[in-house]
Amino acid sequence: MDQYEYLFKRAEELVQDLGAVLQELRAVQLSSAGSATPSPEWQPRAAALPVPKPIPLPVAKPMPPPVPKAPVRAPRPQLEVRTRDVVLRISAAVLLFCVIECAVFRSNFYANYLDPRSTAGSVAFNMRLEQNRKPTGPNEVLAIGDSRMGIWTRVTDRLAPETGYALASIATFGTYPRCWYYMLREVDPDRRRYAAVLIPVNELEDEDWGDWSREEVDVHYLASLLRVRDTYDFVRSFPTFKLRRLALRAIFLKGLTYNLDFQDLLDNYTHRMAELKWIREYMLQARYTYLGPTKTVDGLQVDWAAHKITRYPPGATETERFNLDAELVRPVGVYTGQREAYRRLWFGRIIDYYRGTRTRVIFLRLPRGPVVRPYPTNARSSVVREFAARGQAILLDEHSFDQMEQPAFFMDPVHFNEAGGERFAELLSRAVGAALGHPRKAGA
């Protein structure tokens, strides 16, 4: 049998087998019993076929939660930084700062809007009020000092026909002689408005109690008055680096010195403007008609041997008692020479400022208080007496105000009440008239 015949025969067998399988499948589908068992004819052939092994299905596992992907940011464009651009921007910022500093703060524009209750504002407005006050003639005498030197000008004006001199005051609470020099320079730049300036001292001797050269408050009081030309003298008058740095800032960076005041102006603009308007319109009149308190320290008793106040004024508060103790029974200081050097510097500056002019410098010792401390001082010098002895200044009789050293004229250890203020103005006006002599005629 050739090859082709064998292949045809084998194909016939396969066709027959396939037909038998189809018949058997049709019989399974038509069976009403639903039995899937093959017929006996099919079993031998089916048993001959290989039975496939069951394939295990994989167990389904829960899918893990998706992990959030970090947002993909677009790459930033690389900026090319050039040194020239950086220098230009820094230079522009510095230039803008300098323009604002000079136009707003250094031009005294902002000084007109300072809080009048602040240190810098109180000095600035005292200067402005005196500069705007109309002069009464060539025989005006200007008083300077702290709160103890407030003068009742309504009393001195009443005595002006008798003494020949009218008194004015730029005394400012809390100021020291270093401030007084710059205040006089500001209010009298031509050095010819006044016949004399009055400078008060608590004691004629240079007693050391407290180093006035370290008073940081001077920087704040004088912020609106300092100029670049003051840098060397003003800065070196402070003994420490910290104070000198603050002094430099007050001269060159006034905007930083006014920082807190400027913030307050922005927060309370309407109130500040109303307050400033009232001061410009009514402050001079309010000061002129001012009536001091009638309170006294009557009843005060001190045991000087024991350094103790044995009896306080009736109704004195704890604060008032503390102030009485601090002023009247304080210990005597140890001599250091600081007060002498300080007075020699700043009183000397004032004397030099008016040297060669018609303006005389007059020193006076204020009433020492409601009672007088009997303790000896540690002072070894008196700069004020030296200036008077050289003819550089006038020293009023040191006993001119002794009659005022009693409790009835004081409302606390150092300040006058209404009766004391009136009496002091009378005595001072007459003492100044006697010291200066015949007044100068107008136009002379």
pLDDT digits (tens, 9 = 90+) for 371-417: 998 887 778 899 999 999 999 999 999 999 999 999 999 999 999 99
pLDDT surpassing 90 at residue 209: no
Mean pLDDT of the region 173-182: 97
Model confidence band, residue 103 (pLDDT cutoffs 50, 70, 90)? confident
C-alpha distances (whole Å) from 285 to each of 129, 133, 154, 299 are 11, 11, 10, 35
Cα distance between residue 222 and residue 179, in whole Å: 7
- Assign 386 to helix, strand or coil: helix
Contact call for residues 366 and 201 (beta carbons, < 8 A): yes
Please, what is the end-to-end C-alpha distance for the chain in angstroms?
168
pLDDT of residue 64: 67
Mean of per-residue pLDDT scores for the chain:
86
Cα distance between residue 14 and residue 414, in whole Å: 139
Q: What is the pLDDT of residues 135-152, one digit of tens each?
A: 989 999 999 999 999 899
Amino acid at 157: D
pLDDT of residue 274: 95
Contact call for residues 213 and 186 (beta carbons, < 8 A): no
Cα distance between residue 264 and residue 269, in whole Å: 8
Query: Which of 134, 226, 121, 138 lies closest to 172, judged by CA?
Result: 121
Residues whose CB is less than 8 angstroms from the CB of residue 92 and which lie 6 or more positions away in sequence, other chains included: none
Query: Which of 226, 231, 220, 225 lies closest to 258, judged by CA?
Result: 220
What DSSP element (H or E) covers 311?
strand 308-311
Contact call for residues 324 and 309 (beta carbons, < 8 A): yes
Mean pLDDT of the region 270-297: 92
C-alpha distances (whole Å) from 398 to each of 368, 403, 409 are 11, 12, 18
Residue with tokens 């109690």: 209
Q: What is the pLDDT of residues 303-338, one digit of tens each?
A: 998 989 999 999 999 999 999 999 999 888 788 899
**Angle in degrees, CA 170, 106, 252, rounded to 5:** 100
Q: What is the pLDDT of residues 72-93, one digit of tens each?
A: 666 666 656 678 878 888 888 8
Q: What is the DSSP letter of 407?
A: G
Chain center to CA of 26: 109
Contact call for residues 357 and 350 (beta carbons, < 8 A): no
**Angle in degrees, CA 165, 362, 288, rounded to 5:** 45
pLDDT surpassing 50 at residue 48: no
pLDDT surpassing 80 at residue 56: no
347-353: Cβ within 8 A, 24+ apart: 347/177, 347/199, 347/383, 347/384, 347/387, 347/393, 348/387, 349/181, 350/177, 350/180, 350/181, 350/184, 350/197, 350/199, 351/387, 351/392, 351/393, 353/181, 353/184, 353/185, 353/191
Around 233, how many Cα atoms within 13 Å sit in the side-chain half-sphere? 12
Amino acid at 296: T
pLDDT of residue 46: 44
Q: 2: how many CB neighbours lie within 10 A of its CB?
A: 6
Q: What is the pLDDT of residues 1-40, one digit of tens each?
A: 556 566 667 777 777 777 776 777 777 666 644 544 444 4
pLDDT of residue 293: 93
pLDDT surpassing 60 at residue 60: no
Cα distance between residue 65 and residue 82, in whole Å: 49
Q: Which two tokens stand for residue 141?
A: 């005498």
Q: What is the pTM for the complete model shown?
A: 0.79
Mean pLDDT of the region 109-134: 93
Mean pLDDT of the region 256-281: 92
Query: Which of 207, 212, 246, 252 lies closest to 228, judged by CA?
Result: 252
